[in-house]
Amino acid sequence: MGHSIVCVDNFSTGLERNIHHLRSYNRFSVIRHDVIDPIDIEVDEIYNLACPASPPHYQADPIHTMKTSVFGALNLLELAARTGARIFQASTSEVYGDPLVHPQVENYWGNVNSFGPRSCYDEGKRSAETLFYDFHQTYDVEIKIARIFNTYGPHMRPDDGRVVSNFIVQALKGQDITIYGDGSQTRSFCFVDDLIEGFQQLMATDPSFTGPVNLGNPGEFTILELAEQVIELTGSSSKTICKPLPKDDPRQRRPDISLAREKLGWQPLVPLSTGLEKTICYFDRLLTEEAHEWVG
Ligand code: UDP
Exposed, middle or buried: residue 102 (CB in 10 Å: 0-12, 13-18, 19+)?
middle
Tell me if residue 121 is catalytic. yes
Query: Is the pLDDT at 60 greater than 70, yes or no?
Result: yes
Closest C-alpha residue for ligand 1 atom 4: 163
**How far apart are the CA of 162 and the centre of ligand 1, in A?**
6
Q: Which residue from 276, 150, 140, 148 is spatially nearest to 213, judged by alpha carbons? A: 148
pLDDT digits (tens, 9 = 90+) for 112-135: 999 999 999 999 999 999 999 999
> Where is pLDDT greater, at 125 or 293?
125
pLDDT digits (tens, 9 = 90+) for 186-226: 999 999 999 999 999 999 999 999 999 999 999 999 999 99
pLDDT of residue 291: 83
Query: Is the pLDDT at 295 greater than 70, yes or no?
Result: no
* DSSP one-letter string for 142-200: -EEEEEE--EE-TT--TT--SHHHHHHHHHHHTPPEEEETTS--EEE-EEHHHHHHHHH
Q: How confident is the model at residue 293 (pLDDT cuts 50, 70, 90)?
A: confident
- Per the DSSP assignment, residues forming a β-bridge with 191 are 152
Q: What is the pTM of this model?
A: 0.97
pLDDT of residue 296: 55
What gap in Å lies between CA 87 and CA 80, rounded to an integer? 7
Closest C-alpha residue for ligand 1 atom 16: 163
Q: What is the mean pLDDT of residues 60-89?
A: 98
Query: Is the pLDDT at 93 greater than 80, yes or no?
Result: yes
What gap in Å lies between CA 216 and CA 198, rounded to an integer? 9
Query: Is the pLDDT at 3 greater than 60, yes or no?
Result: yes
What gap in Å lies between CA 118 and CA 58, rounded to an integer? 8
pLDDT of residue 58: 98
**How far apart are the CA of 284 and the centre of ligand 1, in A?**
21
Domains of the chain in start order, with CATH, are 1-148 (3.40.50.720)
